[in-house]
């Protein structure tokens, strides 16, 4: 039987755990649907003309201070992939 040091066994175990924990994160990544440029295009189609920032947040796109032509500002969340609005809140002007 081959002798393996305790250090080598622990290093292998840590590497295996790191890989197992990172695999689910990488599994659902789709470059086309996860592109902020695509999100900007969808926001324009929804009637928004400007926003402060677009941020990826645990499976959703979070948009702060999205403004429509009438001047109203909104904070919203879009579902990744479908870009359906899952949260819409109008800011006080």
State the pLDDT confidence band at 52, using cuts at 50, 70 and 90.
very high
Angle at alpha carbon of residue 33, lines to 50 and 37, rounded to 5°: 30
Q: Is residue 84 scored above 80 in pLDDT?
A: yes
In a domain, 83, yes or no: yes
Q: How many domains does the chain have?
A: 1
User: In the prediction, which pLDDT does 59 show?
Assistant: 85
Which range in 13-17, 19-23, 74-78, 88-92 is most confidently predicted, on average pLDDT?
74-78
Residue 42 is part of which domain span? 29-90
Threshold 0.75, pTM exceeds: no
Q: What pLDDT digit, counting tens, does each position of 6-24 carry?
A: 877 787 777 777 666 665 5
Q: Is residue 30 scored above 90 in pLDDT?
A: no
User: In the prediction, which pLDDT does 32 show?
Assistant: 47
In a domain, 8, yes or no: no
């Amino acid at each position: 039987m081959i002798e393996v040091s305790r250090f080598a066994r622990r290093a292998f175990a840590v590497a295996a755990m790191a890989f197992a924990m990172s695999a689910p994160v990488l599994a659902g990544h789709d470059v086309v649907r996860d592109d902020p440029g695509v999100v900007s295009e969808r926001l324009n189609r929804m009637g928004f003309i400007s926003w402060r920032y677009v941020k990826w947040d645990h499976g959703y796109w979070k948009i702060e201070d999205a403004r429509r032509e009438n001047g109203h500002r909104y904070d919203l969340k879009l579902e990744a992939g479908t870009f359906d609005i899952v949260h819409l809140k109008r800011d006080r002007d």
